[in-house]
Amino acid sequence: MDTESTYSGYSYYSGRSRGSHRHGERSRDRHKSRSKDSRSEKSVTINTPPAEPLLGDSSVRGEQIQDDNWGETTTAVTGTSEHSLSQEDIVRITKDLEDSVGLDCRRYFTLTLAVILGLLVFLTPLAFLVLPHILWPEKLQSCGTACEGLFISVAFKLLILLLAVWALFFRPPRAGLPRVFVFRALLAVLVLVFVISYWLFYGVRILDSQDENYQGIVQYAVSLVDALLFIHYLAIVLLELRQLQPCFSVCVTRSTDGEMRQYNLGQLSIQRAALAILEHYYCDFPVHNPALLSASKSRAAKHLAGLKVYNVDGPGNNAATGLAHSQSRAMIAAAARRRDTSHNELYYEEAEHERRVRKRKARLVVAVEEAFTHIKHLQEEEQKKAPGDVMDPREAAQAIFPSMARALQKYLRTTKQQHCHSMESIQQHLAFCITNNMTPKAFLECYLTPGPTLQYSRDHWMARQWTLISEASVTSGLKDGTVFVLKSVDFSLVITSKKIPYIQMSEEYIDPKSHKFVLRLQSETSV
């Protein structure tokens, strides 16, 4: 008895020692691999604060299906998510910050140059008129009636030029482009060369000789203002009118969900076309919803999990190997048949999802209609109260929101929209609908149908920076077959341009007499 117990205890101890020895080897190997990784690549963990949920955890993507009593039986705990960043990512983030600072400096530098050039343009005609009175006033001839009329002409033309320049150039910038706008830079250089040429002629022919004909000096200043007005007209043609006629049809495709739109653009450079496309994107494309993409990925992973790989060349005799080989063949064939029937699973899964969406949509519609009916009763009761006791729309929205909150929460979770709407935004929209006496259908429209990107809060869609990727130079114009990419943080927009074909129309004349015919009736027929 003692021998058996001793032997069993020894066996147990030896098994524990072998297990601990293996565990020690694994821990040493893991420690070595971690030390190698730490020497080769540094990683940093960044904790990001959770977004504001609707009535629970908005980080839940909805891979698991909740029952109808989820809101009453489940406790949601929010936390921080961890994302590992390598040293290359940190360098890239630092470079992006430096690029952003460079863009800001370049924007202010360009604005400073524009202001200096504008002051030079507007002060030059005035300087042409004032300098003779300062340098040689005793030699100037008297200014007659025609000269005084030219003063009025210069004043009004400068005022018109000031308003025109303010309307065309001094507008808030819509975006920061990677390269200089070629036409605007060309116009700035043209104005600078033009003003310098006038100053050179003025210095040689008027300042040096101290011209006594003041009327000729005034006409010289008037000619400068007229030329500046013509340059401004050229700027309108190049910057505004040239791009109005559509010449290209661009196809914009979102890389994640394949959402597609078509737009017609005029003669634009690639970077200006990218800016126009982004302006259309925020108004036309539905908001990007990564939760729907994660659901499709989880479904694909579940289908692929049904396939298993077996070792058909394992150890053993030939008979056992042949038997294992035949069994593995049968298992693989069964897995292949199960894979072939996966479309049925997808069909029933989508049908079940649509049924659940319709069910929760019906509950939401009924709950919202009952809440708005209660609002009407409250309004009728408040009309009987004193003016100081009337409830404002914000308080009314907070009063009726709990009655529809659970149904709205379930619907948003089922349709994967819970991260797009916070409780505060829903209450603000509800108060807005109550203030403007809108119907329940008008309140529900933004939740039942995914709206454009601008409809949602800037925290959900505002991209810090778009990256333009193009093989051709971004300052070159659009051509037939031009392809470029606008890359954001979560997705990309792939743009393909096609030139609108030349349309040849011809006219064909039809003789009006060819449409005439004669109906001859016979008395023998029933007609």
3-class DSSP state of 102: helix
Predicted local confidence at residue 377, as pLDDT? 80
pLDDT over threshold 90, residue 12 = no
Residue found by looking up tokens 């971004």 in the block: 474
Predicted local confidence at residue 14, as pLDDT? 40
Instruction: Give the residue-averaged pLDDT of 481-504.
Output: 92
The burial class, CB within 10 Å (0-12 / 13-18 / 19+), for 277 is buried
End-to-end CA distance of the chain: 126
Whether 313 and 501 have beta carbons less than 8 Å apart is answered as: no
Predicted local confidence at residue 53, as pLDDT? 44
Interatomic CA distance for residues 297 and 285, integer angstroms: 22
Predicted local confidence at residue 56, as pLDDT? 45
Task: Look at the alpha carbons of 375, 376, 378, 382 in this order and tell me if their dihedral is positive or negative.
Answer: positive
Residue found by looking up tokens 């003025």 in the block: 202
By C-alpha distance, which of 359, 287, 263, 307 is closest to 65? 359
Predicted local confidence at residue 465, as pLDDT? 78
Q: What are phi and psi of 415, to 5 degrees?
A: -90, 10
pLDDT confidence of 330, banded at 50, 70, 90? low
The residue with greater pLDDT, 378 or 201, is 201
Whether 486 and 492 have beta carbons less than 8 Å apart is answered as: yes
Whether 303 and 335 have beta carbons less than 8 Å apart is answered as: no
pLDDT digits (tens, 9 = 90+) for 152-165: 999 999 999 999 99
Q: What is the overall mean pLDDT for the chain?
A: 75
Packing angle, helices 214-236 and 182-202, rounded to 10: 170
pLDDT digits (tens, 9 = 90+) for 432-460: 998 898 888 999 988 888 888 888 777 65
Whether 280 and 263 have beta carbons less than 8 Å apart is answered as: yes
Task: Look at the alpha carbons of 195, 198, 204, 207 in this order and tell me if their dihedral is positive or negative.
Answer: negative
